[in-house]
Amino acid sequence: MTTFKTLGQADVGGKRVLVRADLNVPVKDGHVTDATRIERLAPTITDLLLRGAKVIVLSHFDRPKGKRVPEMSLRPIVPALAKAIGHDVVFADDCIGPAAEAVVASLKPGQCALLENLRYHAGEEANDKDFTKALAALGDIYVNDAFSAAHRAHASTEGLAHLLPAYAGRQMQAELEALTAALEQPQKPVIAIVGGSKISSKLDVLNNLVRKVDFLVIGGGMANTFLNAQGIDIGKSLCERDLADTAREILATARESGCEVLLPTDVVCATALKEGVEIHERPVDMVPEDMMILDVGPDTVQLLRDRIDACKTLLWNGPLGAFEIKPFHKATFEIAKHVAKVSKAGALVSVAGGGDTVAALNAAGVADDLTYVSTAGGAFLEWMEGKELPGVAALSAA
């Protein structure tokens, strides 16, 4: 496990604490529509405020590419952040320079400020030394609580950790501990569920997991590519036929590594992906040529339940079917509810992440019942690929 200093080890009383957050949240008509990331950040900020720190929150928002784009300002985030932490939040119209310096200088212990979008400056994404120094001059201590941005070697995610005493925030700590428990130091046996439409976007994930887990469930459209690679007729189903050799290589690596790959044995198919369409449950090798596979069938669901019951750790990224459209949500929801049940009973450590996965778990009403659900997108995926995350590595080196 990556070694890093935690918030509890920091002496923050009266200190200016730069907190790197990820406040890149959905905003419509000037209002935050999903405050999940803000709510997860709140424990770190409230902890610091209660201990007498002067908290300065740093974040990016969207991709202004080094220019000041009014609709990408962090100002609309202020009310939601203030509500989440139960304290007023002062806003600075820039993240460096006179505007930022004046707001930071005005802070008293136990007060909080939010600085303007880091990416208004090209130096943020370039990890520019001068820009990093300008940020560092605003604080005495650096806290990274933005795992979702930890796969980027930017000034505020990587550079600052080398200039100031650096610590992991509460959310960062929880994320790293959960990920370590899921893949680096797991209780065995370990089962991973990987779904989604294309294997081309998850080749590195699959190649890493088959060497580390005991069971690998492949679902969603990517399962069709593996079925096709085995000579199974999948009708009009989504399939990357040019990756048949790649799929066979992954299966061969799995066999060599002692990993059992679980593909659908029966499927739910239809002539179109739309609500109310007539569906057919078929063995996987009996898909009509005018139909497409849109979900896994009940026999596959039961097989997966049995495998999950035999495991101690589960890692999940990607749905089993086209869950956004009924009735093709059924398998994903049934497995989600089973994972939640076993997790709540204390028999399974379950860690899930990725946008579609989180959406599916929320839709199934069980997101709060798994051991840990990551809101990080790219960082979660790169961790699953076995890559070193610059923001995490910088904390370890600090």
Half-sphere exposure of residue 356: CA atoms within 13 angstroms, side-chain side = 20
Question: Is the Cβ–Cβ distance between 49 and 55 less than 8 Å?
Answer: yes
User: What's the Cα-to-Cα distance from 303 to each of 266, 349, 388, rounded to whole Å?
Assistant: 11, 19, 34
Q: Helices 330-344 and 298-309 meet at what angle, rounded to 10? A: 20
DSSP run (H or E) holding 121: none
Q: Which amino acid is at 9?
A: Q
User: How far is it between the farthest Cα atoms of the chain?
Assistant: 71
Query: Known catalytic residue: 297?
Result: no
Query: Known catalytic residue: 68?
Result: no
Question: Is the Cβ–Cβ distance between 366 and 358 less than 8 Å?
Answer: no
Query: Known catalytic residue: 355?
Result: yes
CA 273/CA 270 separation, integer angstroms: 7
Say which of 75, 198, 282, 341 is annotated catalytic.
198
Query: Known catalytic residue: 198?
Result: yes
Give the 3-state secondary structure of 302-358: HHHHHHHHCCCEEEEECCCCCCCCCCCCHHHHHHHHHHHHHHHCCCCEEEEECHHHH
Say which of 52, 66, 378, 386 is annotated catalytic.
378
Other Cβ atoms less than 10 A from the Cβ of 308: the count is 22
CA 306/CA 312 separation, integer angstroms: 12
Say which of 16, 37, 51, 152 is annotated catalytic.
37
Say which of 52, 66, 110, 355 is annotated catalytic.
355
Residue ranges of the alpha helices (H) in the chain? 36-50, 78-85, 97-106, 122-126, 129-136, 170-179, 203-209, 220-229, 244-257, 298-309, 330-344, 355-364, 378-384, 390-397
Show which residues are catalytic.
Answer: 37, 198, 355, 378
